[in-house]
Amino acid sequence: MLDHPLVPGPTSAIEKGPWHYGADYISVFFRGEPLSLKRLVPPPFIVDDGTCMAYVCEIISVGDSGAEVVASRPDRTIYQEAAVGVKCKFKEKTGIFFPVMWVTTEWSLLRGILNGYRKRLADRISMTKLHPLNPGLKPISAGSKFGGFCMKGPGQTLSLQVAVEKAGSPSDLPSFGATYGVRRFPGISAGQEGVNEPVEILKSNSRVSDVWIGTGSVKTELEVGKIGILFGAVYRSGFTISGSRPLKE
């Protein structure tokens, strides 16, 4: 039987979870204006102190049969992502909610929506990569510059720049807590069923490495209010997502 695009399976757009991720991030941590941010975060989530993050990253993502799929269908294992996240609370538990995440492949778009992320398809995401054997590039060191941008339709949705100053450690990165989302599939005609389910994404196996910390800047079409930069960072990260847990209000 041919799978529905959203029903995980071998002929679907989405392979069966859990899904494993390895990502290279260029991130900027900043403060937005809570009044603006409130328009980006739906209930039951409450905007916290205005702390936000923006990033672009390249992700290698696989299911449990990853070792085979990376070779047979590399196009189903690599994508780029750009996003803005807002620190918020569900009841007393802090976390991060992403008003939007732009991605470059069908399967990351649909898988994310199924899990509760507000994913959109980018036309293009580009970001700095260094290469250790390139005779014109140095390894990352104090002063190294990184940048990235995301394009969609007639404009740029997000761009950021980071200049690193020193090696850091995973503990230098803010901990937002949980990752929140909303699983949403609205009824739009008379009598149709729908889903509207706030969730916490089930993330495990988190690890971070190769952290560098420095200054940064960010521009986005998202209306986050006046931006106060905290710092920029580049790092690598890995984690597993096994689905999401409905939140009881």
Binding to a copy of itself in span 43-72, by CB under 8 A? 60-64, 66-68, 70-72
Question: Per-residue contact track with a copy of itself, 106 to 125, x per CB under 8 A?
Answer: x--xx--xxx--xxxx-xx-
Stretch that binds a copy of itself, among 27-35, 47-55, 133-141, 168-176 (CB under 8 A): 133-141
Q: Does 87 bind a copy of itself (CB under 8 A)?
A: no
- Site size for a copy of itself (CB under 8 A): 107
Q: Does 220 bind a copy of itself (CB under 8 A)?
A: no
| Minimum separation from the CB atom of position 194 to a copy of itself (A) | 7
Report how far residue 234's alpha carbon sits from residue 57's, in angstroms, rounded to the nearest whole number. Answer: 10
Report how far residue 221's alpha carbon sits from residue 242's, in angstroms, rounded to the nearest whole number. Answer: 31
Q: Which of 248, 222, 6, 239 lies closest to 115 in space, CA to CA?
A: 6
> Strand, coil or helix: what is 35?
helix
| Minimum separation from the CB atom of position 244 to a copy of itself (A) | 6
Task: Tell me the CA distances in angstroms from 164 to 145, 212, 215, 237, one per residue in order.
Answer: 7, 6, 6, 17
Structure tokens at 239: 């984690």
| Minimum separation from the CB atom of position 172 to a copy of itself (A) | 17
> Strand, coil or helix: what is 14?
coil
Which of 88, 96, 127, 218: binder of a copy of itself (CB under 8 A)?
Answer: 127
| Minimum separation from the CB atom of position 141 to a copy of itself (A) | 10
CB 57 within 8 A of CB 14: no
Q: Does 249 bind a copy of itself (CB under 8 A)?
A: no
Q: Does 194 bind a copy of itself (CB under 8 A)?
A: yes
CB 242 within 8 A of CB 199: no
| Minimum separation from the CB atom of position 111 to a copy of itself (A) | 10
| Minimum separation from the CB atom of position 188 to a copy of itself (A) | 5
Which of 73, 91, 166, 226: binder of a copy of itself (CB under 8 A)?
Answer: 73
Exposure string for 37-50, b = 16+ CB within 10 A, e = fewer? beebbbeebebbeb
For residue 71, the surrounding DSSP H or E stretch is helix 66-72
Q: Does 78 bind a copy of itself (CB under 8 A)?
A: yes
Q: Does 186 bind a copy of itself (CB under 8 A)?
A: yes
Q: Does 169 bind a copy of itself (CB under 8 A)?
A: no
The full DSSP string for 137-195 is -PPS-TT-EEEEEEEETTEEEEEEEEEEEEE--GGGSPP--EEEEEEEE---STT---E
Stretch that binds a copy of itself, among 27-35, 45-53, 88-96, 101-109 (CB under 8 A): 101-109
